[in-house]
Amino acid sequence: MDISIVVPLYNEADSLTELCEWIDRVVKGMDIRYEIIMVDDGSTDSSWETIQTLITSYPIHAIQFSRNYGKSAALHIGFQKASGAVVITMDADLQDSPDEIPELYKMIISDGLDLVSGYKKKRHDPLSKTIPTKLYNWATRKMSGIHLHDFNCGLKAYKNKVVKRIEVYGEMHRYIPILAHRAGFKNIGEKVVQHYPRKHGVTKFGWERFINGFLDLQSIVFMSRFGKKPMHFFGSLGSLVFFIGFLAFLWIGGNKIYCLTQHIPEKNIAEESIFFIALTAMVIGTQLFLAGFLGEMIVRNAAHRNEYEIEQEINHGQ
Ligand code: UDP
Ligand code: MG
């Protein structure tokens, strides 16, 4: 198998037929063997019925989840099933263009890249999405040190061993280039790709994407830096906070002694409310972050972080 095209889909019935025709048309001109791995992420429309029809005409391997588990889970199972030397992911909604397949394939096979990420230079999305996305990509670049313009493009190509090595869970599909980089695949490239407006149906991600994306970025950076040595993080933060507390204690003590020796009436520190606000905010903020990171570590190490139920699995020609 030369190419596996992994397509996560959730309620995209109207797009699937055109998508398969288009992929097939492009790939037919390449003289290679390919498969389309369709992962129906618990669609409630007629997506699965449409796939059952399409499977008779196209080399489709289809998996149906018992419910909606999210794009990351869909990609994860698709990656596990992919047998192509090159694995290409693509959204199902016709916003990504199958015309990019030959060039992406070439960049992996001939140019030797581990991962090629699509870059939707000219996007066809509302401003409410494109402006925060710019900010998000900037922050991700700064925090990860990986110079991509568009981390969360659905259209990406990988060497097969890359997708087998990384584990996409939760909503980590936004950060696959970082996961790959941390797993030792440093040859990451970018390709400007065509992007189309959504033709049918609606977007599956609302404004929460930005909050979740920000939190996941914290987790991923934290996990890759301190996941195996959490004491370096907790220890230094703890020491710092303790040190600040210790200085404050010295200051209060010193002040008290000074006032006593000079016979100055003491000013009660508890009268300054800003002191308590700062103190409480600091303590609560630290606690929250610690709780978040501890939770993240537990999730990472839990055996069931990528557990989902497959309802049906069907294959072309079977
Ligand atoms: N998707 C999915 N499971 C989900 C949400 C989305 O498989 O829970 C699929 C969706 O069907 C599409 C792709 O992920 O093929 C990208 O989703 P969408 O087009 O809604 O995202 P956007 O383009 O708005 O970022
Ligand atoms: Mg889309």
What residues does 9 pair with on adjacent strands? 40
Return the H-helix or E-strand segment holding 62: strand 60-65
The pLDDT of residue 201 is above 90: yes
What confidence tens digit (pLDDT) does each residue in 54-91 have?
A: 999 999 999 999 999 999 999 999 999 999 999 999 99
To test the ligand 1 pocket, which listed residue (5, 7, 10, 90) has its Cβ within 8 A of the most ligand atoms? 10
pLDDT at 250: 80
Q: At what angle do helices 101-109 and 13-28 cross, to 10 degrees?
A: 60
To test the ligand 1 pocket, which listed residue (93, 94, 173, 210) has its Cβ within 8 A of the most ligand atoms? 93
Question: Which residue, judged by its Cα, is nearest atom 8 of ligand 1?
Answer: 70
In this structure, the residues whose C-beta lies within 6 A of any atom of ligand 1 are 8-10, 12, 41, 68, 70-71, 74, 91-93, 95, 154, 203-205
Report the alpha-carbon distance of residue 275 to residue 283 in Å, rounded: 12
157 C-alpha to ligand 1 centroid (Å) = 17
Across all residues in the chain, what is the average pLDDT?
90
The pLDDT of residue 283 is above 70: yes
The pLDDT of residue 143 is above 80: yes
Residue 7 CA to its chain's centroid (Å): 16
The confidence band for 300, taking pLDDT boundaries of 50, 70 and 90, is: confident
CB 66 within 8 A of CB 42: yes
What residues does 35 pair with on adjacent strands? 4
What residues does 8 pair with on adjacent strands? 39
54 C-alpha to ligand 1 centroid (Å) = 20
Mean pLDDT, range 263-284, rounded to an integer: 74
To test the ligand 1 pocket, which listed residue (23, 38, 71) has its Cβ within 8 A of the most ligand atoms? 71
Ligand 1: nearest atom to the Cα of 69: 8
The confidence band for 280, taking pLDDT boundaries of 50, 70 and 90, is: confident
pLDDT at 298: 78
pLDDT at 195: 95
Torsion angle (degrees, nearest 10) of CA 64, 65, 68, 72: -90
Q: Which of 175, 174, 177 minimizes the C-alpha distance to 188?
A: 177
**pTM of the complete model beyond 0.95:** no
Structure tokens at 277: 């606000």
Q: What is the number of the ligand closest to the CA of 203? A: 1
67 — phi, psi (to 5°)? -155, 180
pLDDT at 18: 98
Using a pLDDT cut of 70, give the percent of the chain over it: 97
Residue 101 CA to its chain's centroid (Å): 22
Ligand 1: nearest atom to the Cα of 70: 8
pLDDT at 272: 64
Lowest mean pLDDT across 25-34, 119-128, 279-288: 279-288
For 83-186, strand residue ranges (E) read 86-89, 115-119, 156-159
CA distances from 19 to 25, 104, 174, 192 (A): 10, 17, 23, 20
Report the alpha-carbon distance of residue 218 to residue 172 in Å, rounded: 11
The confidence band for 233, taking pLDDT boundaries of 50, 70 and 90, is: confident
Stronger pLDDT, 127 or 224, i.e. the higher one: 127
Mean pLDDT, range 12-41, rounded to an integer: 97
Question: Which residue, judged by its Cα, is nearest atom 17 of ligand 1?
Answer: 204
The pLDDT of residue 273 is above 70: no
pLDDT at 164: 97
Mean pLDDT, range 98-127, rounded to an integer: 95
The pLDDT of residue 126 is above 80: yes
